[in-house]
């Protein structure tokens, strides 16, 4: 599953017609999706050794990043994810 989502995003990127949309999907969204999925797997594997406040912060950051991706809030979601 980890590699499927980014591959689907790249495939969709090749199917859309304007170049800016292709570039955005292939060079921005696909790598970010891969990183989020890999990071999520690592966090889930280390669930028992992590404090609950860390999980709360992680979930909040992912929610803010997702909402930012929808264009609802103006600040950078991926910067929240990286921090």
Q: Give the tens place of pLDDT for each residue, 32-72.
A: 889 888 988 888 888 778 788 888 888 887 887 777 777 77
Report the pLDDT value the prediction gives residue 75, as an integer from 0 to 100.
60
Q: Give me the domain span that covers residue 77.
A: 50-83
Q: Does residue 12 register a pLDDT over 90?
A: yes
Report the pLDDT value the prediction gives residue 74, as an integer from 0 to 100.
65
Statement to judge: residues 81 and 41 lie in one domain: no
Report the pLDDT value the prediction gives residue 11, as an integer from 0 to 100.
94
Report the pLDDT value the prediction gives residue 8, as an integer from 0 to 100.
93
pTM > 0.85: no
How many separate domains does the chain show? 2
The answer to whether the CB of 65 falls within 8 A of the CB of 81 is: yes
Q: What does residue 10 show for φ and ψ, rounded to 5 degrees?
A: -65, -45
Statement to judge: residues 55 and 44 lie in one domain: no
């Amino acid at each position: 599953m980890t590699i499927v989502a980014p591959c689907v995003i790249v495939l969709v990127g090749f199917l859309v017609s304007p170049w800016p949309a292709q570039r955005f999907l292939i060079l921005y969204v696909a790598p970010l999706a891969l990183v989020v999925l890999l990071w999520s797997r690592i966090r889930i594997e280390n669930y028992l050794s992590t404090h609950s406040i860390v999980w709360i912060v992680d979930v909040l950051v992912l929610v803010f990043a997702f909402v930012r991706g929808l264009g609802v809030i103006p600040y950078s979601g991926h910067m929240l994810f990286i921090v």
